[in-house]
Amino acid sequence: MGVNLRELIPESVRKTIELPALRGKVIAIDAYNALYQFLTAIRQPDGTPLMDSKGRITSHLSGLFYRTINIMEYGLKPVYVFDGKPPEIKAVEIARRKKVKEEAVKKYEEALARGDLEAAKRYAQMSSKLTEDMVIDAKKLLDAMGVPWVQAKAEGEAQAAYMSREGDAWATASQDYDSLLFGAPRLIRNLTITGKRKLPKKDVYIEIKPEIIELEALLKALGITREQLIDIAILLGTDYNPEGVKGIGPKRAMMLIKTYGSLERVLKILPRTEFPIDPLKIKEYFLKPPVNKDYKIEWNEPDEKSIIDLLCKEHDFSETRVRNAIERLKKAYREHIKGKQLGLELWFS
Amino acid sequence: MFRAVYSATSKFKYIAQTLVKVADIIPFLATPEGIIVRTLSPDKTTMISLTLPATAFDEYECDGEEGFLVSSDEFNRVVKRGTRNDILELTLERELKRLRIIFRDKKTGVIRTFNVQLREGSIEKLSEPKIELSATIRMLASDFKNIVRDAKMVGDEIEFITTKDKFIAVTETQQKIYRCIMELDKPLISLIVKKDEVRSTYSIELLEATLKAAMAANTLTLEYGDNMPAKIEFDMPGGGILTYWVAPRAK
């Protein structure tokens, strides 16, 4: 879910980019976010996800496989970052999400019973659940593809932000804005959903392009510090206090933090505000999240047999389609990872 | 104001087809001296620089500096409609935010008019890389085209090796090998090399973008250095030059 900073980010800071412009860049992708995107988007008209002959969901594997190849063909070097154990301060949000999903399952069944396919699809998407087996298969698939992944200690976005700050990744990629709060210098949105997408409830397709938000530029445009950005996010609502503060929207949150300087001071003038946990603990978490410092990022030659075994033999993917995609993956590996294509920028003085 | 008439329409088609392979938007800069298009591909692996002097056109009018952007795809799709019997006329209609493209059939007199919308934005003034390249080879454009097409049958990348008297193009994969050896006058037009041996490797896919330009030109000049970009220069009909830069692949 993540914090919603959308309204706060000026258009001048939100820059649309083309995938080729990211050639050669290491991108730390929020794996859970990407897998949920695939689970939500890759479905049949009635909302049923892709499944193998044993009834196991495979939408996430399909998206992960084809989309990763697609971005690698543009020369991007993806590294997926998986969430670890959720922090205790996230318990309220986890409980809320569970309830939303349970309700969505009920509504999905009701919609299906009355033959409302559009509503059924919507509720089915809301009820998407990423299980441990799915995550294990996703990691197996990445290993077979030769694409690195990193296990975070807790939040994947915190880990991805750390890797970016350390210079091991050029940017983080997620639909959520949390990695900016965790200090990522650059966030790329729409990376895993780029292309033509249908608008919900409308028969209209729009072209989605990746967009990049630079933390430095954002803070400069807003005239605040990263700590103040975290303060604003806490007032608006984060994964650790999903409700935020009642009656406070982006404009007011910004005004309050700019006027009083910090969340600590704002809390003094909002004495009756209730938080599920101490808001200063949330702030502390964004500033000092637990991260895994012992990771290795290495791309390897795709292992064709392992990919075929997992996707085709285990999960009934079409072998012809998978083999064609493997050829594209091998070519991308040869061109952009093994034999590196240089850019002319090296020769512009 | 800008208006230009070009009678080698079929050649101009190849120019447009080359531009579309490099960039989504074509930044035209028209000056009283002629037209310049210089653009870098979004991934910065290739650059195209097209110079068509005013004298390359049958008619040319341009008062001052006129910069305008058009979609390369839209421009290419329209220009592709021209035939060898057509005379091509380009007119900038700035107030209507469009580039008018007219084909006049020399034989039948039929006039066909298309409008391509101008895109918003300004022209980034780029300069070409200023580097010294150690090998210069001049050959027929058709020979170069054959090298690229042959090599594509075998692999993804091609190594150019130039010695004092030979130019060698090699593509090698696990089971296949392609090697083409050319010498001065057999059939190279000229070969100048400043070192004993110059080697560099390029992506065949990126070199393929030049094949359309090769259709518009009789000869080309290939310049490159050890692990350095290649500069491929095509002489355009009437005195223009199309230069294609391609970055090497690191081994």
pLDDT in tens, B25-69: 999 999 999 999 999 998 899 999 999 999 999 999 998 999 999
Q: What tens digit of pLDDT does each residue of A10-44 get?
A: 989 999 998 988 988 999 999 999 999 898 888 88
What's the predicted TM-score (pTM) here? 0.78
Residue at A349 is within a domain: no
What value, to the nearest 5°, has the Cα angle with vertex B233 and ends B227 and B235? 170
In a shared domain, residues A91 and A185: yes
Contact B117, B44 (CB under 8 A): no
Contact A299, A77 (CB under 8 A): yes
Which one of B45, B73, B172, B246 makes the best mutation probe of the A interface by having the most chain A beta carbons within 10 Å? B45
In a shared domain, residues B172 and B234: yes
In a shared domain, residues A94 and A53: yes
Q: What tens digit of pLDDT does each residue of A75-125 get?
A: 999 999 999 998 888 777 777 777 887 787 787 778 778 877 777 777 777
Partners of B49 on chain A (C-beta within 8 Å) are none
Residue A322, both tokens: 């998978």
Question: How far is B116 from B93, CA to CA, in rounded Å?
Answer: 10
In a shared domain, residues B91 and B33: yes
Which among A331, A335, A343 has CB closest to B44?
A: A343
In a shared domain, residues A198 and A235: no
Domain that holds residue B97: 2-119
CATH of the domain at B144: 3.70.10.10
Q: What tens digit of pLDDT does each residue of B156-214 get?
A: 899 999 999 999 999 998 889 999 999 998 999 999 999 999 999 999 999 998 998 88
Residue at A141 is within a domain: yes
Asked which of A192, A222, A252 is the last residue of a domain, the reply is A222
Residue at B199 is within a domain: yes
Asked which of A245, A261, A287 is the last residue of a domain, the reply is A287
Cβ contact A343–B43 (<8 Å): yes
CATH of the domain at A13: 3.40.50.1010
Residue at A187 is within a domain: yes
Partners of A347 on chain B (C-beta within 8 Å) are 129, 131, 228-229, 247
In a shared domain, residues A132 and A104: yes
In a shared domain, residues B12 and B62: yes
- Looking at residue A201, its pLDDT comes to 66
In a shared domain, residues B114 and B9: yes
Asked which of B88, B119, B150 is the last residue of a domain, the reply is B119
Question: How far is B210 from B41, CA to CA, in rounded Å?
Answer: 13
Mean pLDDT for the stretch of residues A179-184: 96
How much of chain A is helix, strand and coil, in % rounded to 5?
A: 50, 15, 35
**Angle between helix B72-79 and helix B9-22 axes, rounded to 10 deg:** 160
Q: Are strands B98-105 and B111-119 parallel, antiparallel or unpaired?
A: antiparallel
Residue at B127 is within a domain: no
In a shared domain, residues A193 and A257: no
Cβ contact A343–B131 (<8 Å): no
Q: Where are the alpha helices (DSSP H) in A114-207?
A: 117-126, 132-145, 156-165, 178-181
Domain that holds residue A126: 1-222
User: Binning pLDDT at 50, 70 and 90, where does residue A294 land?
Assistant: very high
Question: How far is A14 from A91, CA to CA, in rounded Å?
Answer: 32
Contact A238, A273 (CB under 8 A): no
In a shared domain, residues A256 and A123: no
Cβ contact A342–B251 (<8 Å): no
Residue at B124 is within a domain: no
In a shared domain, residues A168 and A179: yes
Q: Return the closest-CA partner of residue A185 out of A208, A161, A207.
A: A161
- Our count of domains for chain B comes to 2
pLDDT over 90 percentage in chain B = 78
Residue A33, both tokens: 């976010």
Give DSSP secondary structure letters for B188-243: ESEEEESSSEEEEEEEHHHHHTTHHHHHH-SEEEEEE-TTS-EEEEEEPTTS-EEE
Provide the Cα torsion B68, B73, B77, B78; round to 10°: -10
- Our count of domains for chain A comes to 2
- pLDDT at position A2 over 70: no
Peptide bond into B229 cis (omega under 30): no
Which among A75, A339, A347 has CB closest to B129?
A: A347
In a shared domain, residues A190 and A242: no
CB atoms within 10 A of CB A17: 15
Asked which of A237, A253, A287 is the last residue of a domain, the reply is A287
Partners of B156 on chain A (C-beta within 8 Å) are 331, 334-335
Give me the phi and psi of A192, to 5 degrees please: -90, 0
**Angle between helix A156-165 and helix A31-41 axes, rounded to 10 deg:** 130
In a shared domain, residues B108 and B207: no
Which among A20, A335, A345 has CB closest to B203?
A: A335
Nearest C-alpha in B relative to A22:
B43
In a shared domain, residues B238 and B176: yes
Nearest C-alpha in A relative to B22:
A20
- Looking at residue B212, its pLDDT comes to 87
Give me the phi and psi of B125, to 5 degrees please: -80, 105
